C-alpha cells in the first residue's frame, strides 16, 4: 500500500507527533520502509530526524505554506506516486490537512487512531470515542484512506537508518496566513500535549501562591504542569494548562493529580494516561477509582516527601 | 454579517456510556445537550459578533426530529434561525457533505463549528466543509476578531499563541477561550418557540467510514494505596513496578 506520511516541521526538525506518525506508518508495513515516503514542508536541518525512525525516503517542500497550499502539493504527490494511504498526526496541522486531502482525493478519513491499523479489504482501526470512555473499531469504505494518529498513543520508535531527502517546491496560498507566534508560554518548559509525565494541581492546592511543590515535582520528574478546570477558570493557572473535556485531552505515560477530585469531565481529558497517581485528602474522591496509585493525605505534607524521594532517585540514576 | 454555526447533539458530559448492541449507543435515560464546543464557544462568539456588527446567526444541524430540542436551545441562547437537515446521524464525511451543501445554497460570511464533538472526538467536519466550499480554515481558534474585512484568529499551542489572518468567507473551529458560556433566560426560551426552525431535505450523502463495533476500555486493575507517611515510596513504585520513570 503506497503510503505518504505528512510530518510537521518545528524549527527545522520533525515534531514528536510527526515522527510518531512516521513510526506508525512503518509499523503498518511491518518495517518495509520502501512503501513509505515522508513529506515535510519548510526549511529543515539535515534529514529533520526522519532517518532515525526508519524513514528511507522523504521530500522536502521549501517555502511558506498554509493548509491549502500543503493540500495542493500533497494531492499532486498522491496522484504522481499513486498513493493509497496518507498518514499524519491528529494534531493541529493534521486536523487541517487530513480532511482536505480526504475530500480532494476521495479517500475515507479515519481520525485519531489509538492502536495499530489492520490492512485488508480497506483499513480497520480502533479509536477513542465518548472522550475516551469507549473505543470504536472503524473501517474505511473507499480504496484510498487518510489516517490520523492520536499523539502519544503509539510512540516514536527509533530504529536508526538514513533518509534520502529530495527537495521540491510548491506554489503558496495566502487566503489564511500565520502572521505571528507569541511565545508567551514558558519556552523552557515541556509542551503539555507531548509530555510523557504530567503533574497536575486542582483546587486542593488552595491558591496560586502554593503551586511551587507542583512545579518542583514536575522539574524533578522532567514533567509538564497542568491543572483542573476550576483552577484555570478562577485564574490561578493559565488556560492552556487546563486538561479535561473542554480543555485539552492528554495521554502521558504518567499523570500525577494533586488535589483534584476527578469529576467525569476531568477524567475525560486524562483517561488515556497509562499510569495515574492521585493525591487527595478526601478518601472518597472519585478520582481514586480511575487511579493506579493513590495517597490519601494533605498535599503539602505528601508532596515534600515525594520531591525528596525524586531528588534521591535522580542523584542515584 | 451572515454566520452559520454548526451544532451537534451529544450525550450530557456526565452521561453513562453503554451499548445496547455492538454498534448502538444505549440512549436509555440519557440527556442530550448541544456539543459544548459548539455551544459555549462557536455559538456564543457568533452572537457576540452579531451584537456588535449586526446580521443573522443560523444554527444548523444534521439529524432526525430528535435534534430539534437542541436546535431550539440554540435559538433560546440567541440564534435567529434554526435549520435541521433531515438525514440520519452518520459519519464525518456525510455530515460535512450535508452541511456544506446547505452552506453553499445559502452564502454565509463565516462558518463556525466547535473544535470536535465530545462524542466522536474527530474534529474533521469543519475541515472537510472548508475543502468542499473552497474556503480557508483554521482549526481550534481561541480568539476571533474582525478587523478591516479580515479575520484575526489566535490559537493556543504548547509554546505560545499563533496569530492567523484570513480573508472572508472562511470556516473556523472554536476552542476554549473564544467566548464564555451563556445560560438562556426566560425571554430567550419564550422567543425560541416562535423563531423559525426550517427542515431542509438531505442531499443524500453516504458515509465513507463505518463503525464495526464499540467496546469499553479495559478496566483498571484497582488502585494501590500508599500510606501518607510513606509517600516517598511512590517514586520507587513508579520506577520498579509501573516502569514509567
Question: Which stretch of A188-202, B60-74, B107-121, B136-150 has the lowest confidence by average pLDDT?
Answer: A188-202
- Rounded Cα distance, A272 and A264, in Å: 13
The mean pLDDT value for A231-249 works out to 91
Contact residues, chain B, for A89 at CB < 8 Å:
none
pLDDT mean over B104-111: 97
pLDDT value for B224: 97
pLDDT classification of A184: cutoffs 50, 70, 90? low
Cell digits for A62?
521549501
Is the pLDDT at B230 greater than 70? The verdict is yes
pLDDT at A17: 95
pLDDT of residue A246: 84
Residues 6+ apart with CB under 8 A from A163: A38, A47, A50, A51, A55, A56, A57, A58
Q: What are phi and psi of A140, to 5 degrees?
A: -80, 155
In this predicted structure, the answer to whether residue B85 has a pLDDT above a threshold of 60 is yes
* pLDDT of amino acid B243: 96
H or E element in which residue B69 lies? helix B68-77
pLDDT of residue B221: 83
Q: Are B79 and B61 in contact (CB under 8 A)?
A: no
Contact B155, B161 (CB under 8 A): yes
Joined together, the cell numbers standing for residue A313 give: 532517585
B166, B209, B239 member nearest A141 (Cβ): B209
Question: How far apart are alpha carbons A270 and A275 in whole angstroms?
Answer: 10
Give dist(CA B115, CA B60) in Å, integer: 16
> What pLDDT does A190 receive?
75
Mean pLDDT of all residues in A82-99: 97
What is the pLDDT at residue B156? Answer: 87
pLDDT over 90 percentage in chain A:
90
A127 Cα to chain B: minimum distance (Å): 9
pLDDT band at B107 (very low <50, low <70, confident <90, very high): very high
Mean residue pLDDT across chain A: 94
Residue A188 above 70 pLDDT?
no
Which residues, in sequence order, are CB contacts of A120 under 8 Å at separation 6+?
none
- Which pLDDT does position A185 carry in this prediction? 58
- The minimum CA-CA distance between B196 and chain A, rounded to whole Å, is 30
What's the CA gap between A85 and A272, in Å, rounded?
Answer: 26
| Interatomic CA distance for residues A202 and A215, integer angstroms | 13
Q: Please check the confidence at residue A147 and state whether its pLDDT lies above 80.
A: yes
Rounded to whole angstroms, the Cα distance separating A181 from A162 reads 32
So what's the ipTM on this one? Answer: 0.95
What is the rounded distance in angstroms from the CA atom of residue B46 to the CA atom of residue B179? Answer: 9
In a mutational test of the B interface, the residue from A243, A295, A299 whose CB has the highest number of chain B CBs within 10 Å is: A295
Amino acid at each position: 500500500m503506497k503510503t505518504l506520511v505528512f510530518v510537521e516541521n518545528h524549527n527545522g526538525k520533525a515534531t514528536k507527533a510527526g515522527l510518531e506518525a512516521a513510526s506508525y506508518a512503518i509499523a503498518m508495513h511491518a518495517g518495509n520502509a520502501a512503501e513509505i515516503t515522508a513529506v515535510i514542508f519548510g526549511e529543515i536541518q539535515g534529514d529533520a530526524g526522519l532517518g532515525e525512525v526508519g524513514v528511507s525516503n522523504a521530500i522536502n517542500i521549501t517555502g511558506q505554506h498554509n493548509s491549502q497550499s500543503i493540500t495542493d502539493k500533497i494531492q499532486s504527490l498522491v496522484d504522481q506516486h499513486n498513493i493509497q494511504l496518507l498518514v499524519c498526526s491528529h494534531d493541529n496541522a493534521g486536523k487541517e490537512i487530513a480532511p482536505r486531502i480526504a475530500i480532494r482525493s476521495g479517500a475515507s478519513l479515519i481520525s485519531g487512531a489509538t492502536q495499530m491499523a489492520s490492512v485488508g479489504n480497506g483499513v480497520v482501526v480502533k479509536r477513542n470515542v465518548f472522550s475516551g470512555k469507549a473505543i470504536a473499531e472503524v473501517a474505511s469504505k473507499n480504496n484510498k484512506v487518510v489516517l490520523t494518529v492520536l499523539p502519544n498513543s503509539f510512540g516514536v520508535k527509533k530504529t536508526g537508518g538514513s533518509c534520502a531527502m529530495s527537495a521540491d517546491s510548491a506554489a503558496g496560498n495566502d487566503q489564511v496566513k500565520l502572521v505571528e507566534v507569541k511565545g508567551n508560554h514558558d519556552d523552557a518548559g515541556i509542551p503539555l500535549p507531548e509530555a510523557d509525565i504530567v503533574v497536575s494541581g486542582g483546587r486542593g492546592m488552595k491558591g496560586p501562591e502554593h503551586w511551587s511543590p507542583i512545579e518542583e515535582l514536575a522539574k524533578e520528574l522532567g514533567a509538564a504542569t497542568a491543572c483542573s478546570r476550576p483552577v484555570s477558570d478562577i485564574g490561578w493557572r493559565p488556560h492552556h494548562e487546563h486538561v479535561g473535556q473542554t480543555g485539552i485531552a492528554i495521554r502521558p505515560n504518567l499523570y500525577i493529580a494533586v488535589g483534584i477530585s476527578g469529576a467525569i469531565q476531568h477524567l475525560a481529558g486524562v483517561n488515556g494516561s497509562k499510569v495515574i497517581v492521585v493525591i487527595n485528602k478526601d478518601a472518597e474522591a472519585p478520582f481514586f477509582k480511575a487511579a493506579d496509585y493513590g495517597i490519601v493525605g494533605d498535599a503539602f505534607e505528601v508532596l515534600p516527601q515525594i520531591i525528596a524521594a525524586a531528588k534521591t532517585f535522580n542523584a542515584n540514576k | 454579517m451572515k454566520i452559520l454555526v454548526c451544532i451537534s447533539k451529544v450525550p450530557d458530559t456526565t452521561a453513562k456510556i453503554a451499548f445496547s448492541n455492538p454498534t448502538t449507543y444505549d440512549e436509555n435515560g440519557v440527556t442530550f445537550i448541544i456539543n459544548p464546543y459548539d455551544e459555549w464557544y462557536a455559538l456564543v462568539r457568533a452572537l457576540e459578533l452579531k451584537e456588535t456588527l449586526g446580521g443573522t446567526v443560523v444554527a444548523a444541524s444534521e439529524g432526525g426530529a430528535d435534534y430539534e430540542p437542541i436546535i431550539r436551545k440554540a435559538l433560546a441562547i440567541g440564534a435567529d434561525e434554526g435549520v435541521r437537515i433531515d438525514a440520519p446521524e452518520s459519519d464525518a464525511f456525510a455530515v460535512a457533505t450535508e452541511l456544506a451543501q446547505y452552506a453553499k445554497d445559502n452564502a454565509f460570511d463565516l462558518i463556525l463549528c466547535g473544535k470536535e464533538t465530545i462524542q466522536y472526538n474527530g474534529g474533521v467536519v469543519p475541515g472537510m466543509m472548508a475543502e468542499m466550499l473552497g474556503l480557508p480554515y483554521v482549526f481550534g481558534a481561541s480568539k476571533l476578531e474582525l478587523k478591516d474585512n479580515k479575520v484575526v484568529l489566535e490559537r493556543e499551542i504548547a509554546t505560545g499563541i499563533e496569530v492567523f489572518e484570513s480573508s472572508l468567507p472562511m470556516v473556523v473551529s472554536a476552542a476554549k477561550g473564544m467566548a464564555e458560556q451563556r445560560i438562556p433566560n426566560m425571554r430567550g426560551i419564550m422567543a425560541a418557540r416562535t423563531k423559525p426552525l426550517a427542515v431542509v431535505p438531505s442531499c443524500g450523502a453516504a458515509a465513507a467510514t463505518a463503525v464495526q463495533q464499540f467496546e469499553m476500555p479495559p478496566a483498571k486493575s484497582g488502585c494501590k494505596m500508599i500510606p501518607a507517611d510513606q509517600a516517598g515510596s511512590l517514586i520507587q513504585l513508579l520506577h520498579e513496578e509501573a516502569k514509567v520513570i
